[in-house]
Amino acid sequence: MVTHKYLQDTFFPSPEGRIIAREKTKIFNEEDSLVGEVTSGTFGPSVNGPVAMGYINKEFSKKDTKIFLEVRGKKYPANICGLPFYKKSYVKGVN
């Protein structure tokens, strides 16, 4: 478990596939070391897929970093992504 806040960073993993990482999901690096934990996750209708956020060791928080999310005892690949999750495709005030 990541315990020191100054070593942590907020991150936004984008799980590959349809699996949704929920609160308390453990995050591992490619060497199978525990590097963080998901604080919130759900289906994102604007990206038509799962989205999540949580805390991760700072060295793994860079965009496009490959991580693994442990859901129901199995590890699934994911990537750190930036915000926003989607491109705005509307213009405010136009009907």
Q: Where are the domains of the chain?
A: 5-80
On whether the CB atoms of residues 38 and 27 are closer than 8 A, the answer is: yes
pTM of this prediction exceeds 0.85:
no
pLDDT in tens, 46-87: 778 888 888 899 898 888 899 999 999 999 998 888 777 666
Closest CA to 13 of 34, 33, 48, 42: 42
CA dihedral 4, 39, 58, 74 (to 10 degrees): 110
Q: Architecture of domain 5-80 in CATH?
A: Beta Barrel (2.40)
Mean pLDDT computed over every residue of the chain: 80
